Amino acid sequence: MDLKLHVWRQKNGQDQGKMVSYDAKDISPDMSFLEMLDVLNERLIAKNEDPIAFDHDCREGICGACSLMINGVAHGPDKGTTTCQLHMRRFKNGDSIFIEPWRARAFPVLKDLIVDRGSFDRIQQAGGFVSVGAGGAPDANCLPIPKEKCDQAFDSAACIGCGACVASCKNGSAMLFVSAKISHLALLPQGEPERERRALMMVQQMDQEGFGNCTNQYECEAVCPKEIKVTNIAHMNREFMRASLFHAEK
Ligand code: SF4
Ligand code: FES
């Protein structure tokens, strides 16, 4: 198929950036979206032009590295699908496709389609972990967890930290991401010792990074490739309230 691509090109964080149009001819419908960009880049390199910079790693929908706004939708038109798992058969011969980076104050553009998502790492470092005492590993059967809680924790843990939720939110809110991380650990006994500290520190770091607040638009849930539910945000708010009261009493 032959496509017209309109791609955001930006040399660096200081550059103003602009949309540049490319003809992408003879694209196989079996290619993934990123393979299509690989082909375009090979052609640009052959012409001594700067290839388009874009993030990717696993290309299996599990690492969270890929991050493209495709025709204005984070990760493109397929529900519950990362950019790397999107295939060109989803488009038609002659289509125009607009490709842009995530746009949010807390995700500054580094080059072309790559943004700096270090803010997510710093939120995770602020509290998204459990401390494990040295010594022999406890027997798994010593930590019985109800099946329902296991399932809820697993669903929250499915977040791959891609940032599509932020990019699709008009407020640039990171609440779906942060709430998934807080809920995951708050639901498990392993997360209990640091439960209050975690909720306070991660929310504080989220605010410091310049993310906006949630105003219940649900755009985040609509584009999340792992279908993380906004009920996690309600859970995070309860965890934060509980932690604030806990600390106020001390
Ligand atoms: S909540 Fe969904 S959209 Fe947001 S970072 Fe996690 S996987 Fe990506
Ligand atoms: S490249 Fe890893 S999720 Fe897309």
Nearest atom, ligand 2, residue 57 CA: 1
Give the pLDDT band of residue 223 (cuts 50, 70, 90). very high
Model pLDDT, residue 134 = 77
Model pLDDT, residue 7 = 98
Q: With 80 as the cut, is the pLDDT of residue 227 above it?
A: yes
Mean pLDDT of the chain: 96
Q: With 70 as the cut, is the pLDDT of residue 249 above it?
A: no
Ligand nearest to the CA of 174: 1
Give the pLDDT band of residue 102 (cuts 50, 70, 90). very high
What is the percent of the chain with per-residue pLDDT over 90, rounded to a whole number? 91
Nearest CA to ligand 1 atom 7: 159
Could you give the angle at the alpha carbon of 21 between the alpha carbons of 16 and 27, nearest 5°? Answer: 135
Which residues line the pocket of ligand 2, CB cutoff 6 A?
56-59, 61-66, 82-84, 160
The pTM score is 0.94
Nearest CA to ligand 2 atom 3: 61
Dist. CA 11–CA 50, nearest whole Å: 10
Model pLDDT, residue 181 = 98
What average pLDDT does range 2-29 have in this prediction? 98
Model pLDDT, residue 138 = 73
Dist. CA 146–CA 239, nearest whole Å: 20
Check if 186 has its Cβ closer than 6 Å to any atom of ligand 1: no
CA distances from 62 to 124, 200, 245, 250 (A): 17, 28, 36, 41
pLDDT in tens, 179-200: 999 999 999 998 999 999 999 9
**Chain centroid offset of residue 145 CA:** 28
Ligand nearest to the CA of 236: 1
Whether the CB-CB separation of 1 and 21 falls below 8 Å is answered with: no
pLDDT in tens, 134-175: 788 777 777 788 999 999 999 999 999 999 999 999 999 999
Check if 236 has its Cβ closer than 6 Å to any atom of ligand 1: no
Give the pLDDT band of residue 250 (cuts 50, 70, 90). low
- Cα dihedral 59, 62, 64, 69, rounded to 10, equals 60
- Cα dihedral 117, 121, 122, 124, rounded to 10, equals 140
Q: With 80 as the cut, is the pLDDT of residue 133 above it?
A: no
